[in-house]
Amino acid sequence: MSPKEFVRRRKHLMSMMGEGAIALLPAAPVQIRNRDAEHHYRQDSDFMYLTGFPEPEAVLVLIPGRKQGQCILFCREQDPSMTLWNGPMAGLEGAVESYGADDAFPISDLDEILPGLLEERETVCYTMGARPDFDQRVMGWVNQVRSKSRSGVHAPEEFVSLDHLLHELRLFKSRAELKAMREAATISVKAHKRAMKICKPGMYEYEIEAEYLHEFRRHNSVPAYSSIVGGGNNGCVLHYVDNRDELRDGDLLLIDAAAEVECYAADITRTFPVNGKFSPAQRALYEVVLDAQLAAIKAVKPGNHWNDPHDATVRVITEGLLKLGLLKGKLDNMIESEAYKRFYMHRVGHWLGMDVHDVGDYKIGDEWRMLEPGMVLTIEPGIYIPIGSKGVAKKWQGIGIRIEDDVVVTKDGHLVLSEKAPKHVDEIEALMNG
């Protein structure tokens, strides 16, 4: 992503904040995995969105209209002993030269410098509650300024939720963001095809997961979330991530796995037969889910609202379940009473971006939000019939199916970033047996 992109985003945010405001945004903390071992560092998405700065121990301060500089980055200073262990770091010069800060200060000077920056600012834009340790520090700085009121210093009087402004920006993806998301989807599609080609009865779920990791890493990406690789009945566990069982002849395999590129996620699910051939029952249910997914994708266009794709899946899935005898009754009654929820219990999808479940409001006031160009969402209906489901014929039990694609709202309708991952029955069988 080019430095200009970050300048543009900061400018946009500052124009929303208005003069007289100040925004404070800390980088993600390092997370300890156990004892001396750290989790792989992932920058906070909001912080990354505005800076592109990948290091921990940093704070971004935006001060619109400030003559001496509007964008200040506090970060770690160059330290040869740290570089020895952890590799190169930006340092103060890098923060200015490579990341476009107007000024940079050592993170160790934050407590000393920040109260002065708050003086004469009316509004503090800050996300309260996400980082209790940082909340305390913000309060401390504000109180420090308040304590100087007798000497005529004005302390900020208003707190505004930074999320609210920033997440509205993040909801609409720029060309550069869509490029990263397309790249993440393309790598993920390669991984799904690789899994379909290699899968056979007797393999283990973790072996299939390894194929995804191989494909992600060899393209310089990381998993966007913990991969779900569930054979047979495990496909009915919505957040199954143990991925430890043997794959059995005659079962389906549900895989929800995708890559992250430059902190932008894909989110793709495919379901296919372990042995390369759908049984008649599997095929019948699969085609209901696929029809529902296609109907929902069709409903992704400007002017439709957020809930239209969901409503489309509910109708098609309920019709399908009635036709197959899994529900009994009248279509409209079944929809109204939400009878379908026994087998389709989640919603059709979510916003997608730097976070897999990305930021952005789904409702404006009490109304579902209209879809607009630049929004990206997942479309992922499913049907899940666990073993032991009462009153359900044996042939349906142990079948979990979800089909998930990543869809951009465009001026004329939509674009499916993950469309090259096979999802039609014939396509899947041809690839698996090719």
Catalytic residues: 36, 239, 256, 267, 346, 350, 357, 380, 384, 402, 404
Q: Which is nearer to ligand GLY, 269 or 275 (CB)?
A: 269
Applying CB under 6 A, does 209 fall inside the site for ligand GLY? no
Question: Phi and psi at residue 30, in whole multiples of 5°?
Answer: -70, 135
Which residues touch 69 (CB under 8 Å, ≥6 apart)? 63, 101, 102, 103
Paired tokens of 347? 């919603």
Q: Which is nearer to Mn ion, 154 or 420 (CB)?
A: 420
Q: Which is nearer to Mn ion, 240 or 286 (CB)?
A: 240
Applying CB under 6 A, does 260 fall inside the site for ligand GLY? no
Applying CB under 6 A, does 46 fall inside the site for ligand GLY? no
Q: Which of 46, 55, 209, 267 binds ligand GLY (CB under 6 A)?
A: 267
* Span interacting with Mn ion, options 24-32, 138-146, 168-176, 397-405, rule CB under 5 A: 397-405
Applying CB under 6 A, does 405 fall inside the site for ligand GLY? no
Pairing state between β 21-26 and 123-125: parallel
Q: Which is nearer to ligand GLY, 24 or 185 (CB)?
A: 185
Least gap, CB of 256 to ligand GLY (angstroms): 5
Least gap, CB of 184 to ligand GLY (angstroms): 13
Site for ligand GLY in 96-125 (CB under 6 A): none
* Span interacting with Mn ion, options 37-45, 144-152, 255-263, 336-344, rule CB under 5 A: 255-263
Cβ proximity of 191 and 212 under 8 Å: yes
Applying CB under 5 A, does 209 fall inside the site for Mn ion? no
Least gap, CB of 265 to ligand GLY (angstroms): 9
From first CA to last CA, the distance across the chain in angstroms is 38
What percent of the chain is helix, strand and coil (3-state, nearest 5)? 40, 20, 40
Q: Which is nearer to ligand GLY, 404 or 429 (CB)?
A: 404
From ligand GLY, Mn ion, none, which one binds at residue 225 (CB under 5 to 8 Å depending on kind)?
ligand GLY
Least gap, CB of 406 to Mn ion (angstroms): 9
* Span interacting with Mn ion, options 96-104, 229-237, 247-255, 256-264, rule CB under 5 A: 256-264
Least gap, CB of 226 to ligand GLY (angstroms): 8
Please name which of 7, 229, 19 lies closest in space to residue 122, comparing C-alpha atoms.
19
Rg (CA), the chain: 25
Applying CB under 6 A, does 237 fall inside the site for ligand GLY? no
* 3 state DSSP class of 318: helix
Q: Which of 256, 319, 355, 406 binds Mn ion (CB under 5 A)?
A: 256
Cβ proximity of 22 and 124 under 8 Å: yes
H-helix or E-strand spanning residue 223: strand 222-223
Q: Is the dihedral of CA 288, 293, 298, 301 positive or negative?
A: positive
Least gap, CB of 165 to ligand GLY (angstroms): 25
- How many whole angstroms separate alpha carbon 246 and alpha carbon 140? 55
Per DSSP (E only), the strands in 257-360 are 259-261, 264-265, 269-273
Cβ proximity of 354 and 360 under 8 Å: no
- Total binding residues for ligand GLY by CB under 6 A? 7
* Span interacting with Mn ion, options 102-110, 253-261, 318-326, 366-374, rule CB under 5 A: 253-261
From Mn ion, ligand GLY, none, which one binds at residue 117 (CB under 5 to 8 Å depending on kind)?
none
Which residues touch 103 (CB under 8 Å, ≥6 apart)? 68, 69, 71, 72, 73, 96
Chain CA centroid to CA 152, Å: 46
Residue 22 Ramachandran class (φ > 0 left, ψ -120 to 50 alpha, else beta):
beta
Least gap, CB of 224 to ligand GLY (angstroms): 8
Strand pairing partners for 32?
Answer: 38
Applying CB under 6 A, does 356 fall inside the site for ligand GLY? yes
Q: Which is nearer to ligand GLY, 55 or 358 (CB)?
A: 358
CA 117 → CA 158, 283, 288, distances in Å? 15, 63, 59
- How many whole angstroms separate alpha carbon 171 and alpha carbon 375? 6
Q: Which of 256, 308, 319, 429 binds ligand GLY (CB under 6 A)?
A: 256
Q: Count CA atoms within 13 Å of residue 370 on its CB side.
A: 6
Q: Which of 131, 225, 324, 386 binds ligand GLY (CB under 6 A)?
A: 225
Q: Which is nearer to ligand GLY, 339 or 356 (CB)?
A: 356
Least gap, CB of 382 to ligand GLY (angstroms): 10
* 78-90 burial code (b ≥16 CB/10 A, e <16): eeeeeeeeeeebb
Summarize as ranges the residues that interact with Mn ion (CB under 5 A): 256, 267, 378, 404
Summarize as ranges the residues that interact with ligand GLY (CB under 6 A): 225, 256, 267, 350, 356, 380, 404
